[in-house]
């Protein structure tokens, strides 16, 4: 498994670089961390980049699996609805990540098996 990030500089726009890396990936893992507090509530915003990257990943053909790690305090898709309101996600606390890390390992192991199975037995579509 290779982890792709947008950190390595390239001579193209950031958006094109990120889209190209998403296009070459077998699955998408979005990490939604707290960004800005919303007024006096306990709710936070997250990075609009990650939200757009998630949407881009879902919209590509073939669609790839999406795994979301969502920090406590951020509204989750099932609470906010929308086209992707039924996505699975893993909640985590910033300074207590161990339980989320274990769940992520389980989900990744399942997805890797699915990806390997697809590669061995491609569909005839």
What residues does each domain of the chain span?
A: 14-120
Q: How far apart are CA 32 and CA 29, in angstroms?
A: 10
> Is the model's pLDDT at 2 over the cut of 70?
no
For the segment 8-20, what is each residue's pLDDT rounded down to a tens digit? 677 778 889 899 9
> What tokens does 33 get?
């961390």
pLDDT band of 81, cuts 50, 70, 90: low
In the block, which residue shows the tokens 């390992």? 105
Cα angle 21, 26, 30 (rounded to 5 degrees) comes to 70
20-65 pLDDT, tens digit per residue, is 989 989 899 999 999 999 888 888 989 999 989 998 998 888 778 8
In this predicted structure, what is the pLDDT of residue 125? 47
């Amino acid at each position: 498994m290779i982890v792709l990030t947008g950190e390595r500089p390239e001579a193209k726009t950031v958006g094109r670089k990120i889209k190209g890396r998403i296009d070459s990936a077998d699955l998408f893992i979005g990490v939604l961390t707290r960004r800005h507090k919303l007024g006096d509530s306990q709710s936070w915003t997250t990075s609009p980049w990650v939200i757009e990257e998630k949407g881009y990943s879902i919209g590509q053909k073939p669609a790839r699996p999406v795994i979301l790690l969502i920090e406590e305090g951020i509204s989750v898709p099932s609470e906010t609805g929308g086209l992707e309101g039924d996505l699975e996600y893993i909640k985590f606390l910033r300074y207590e990540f161990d339980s989320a890390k274990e769940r992520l390992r389980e989900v990744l192991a399942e997805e890797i098996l699915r990806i390997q199975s697809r590669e061995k037995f491609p569909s005839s579509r």
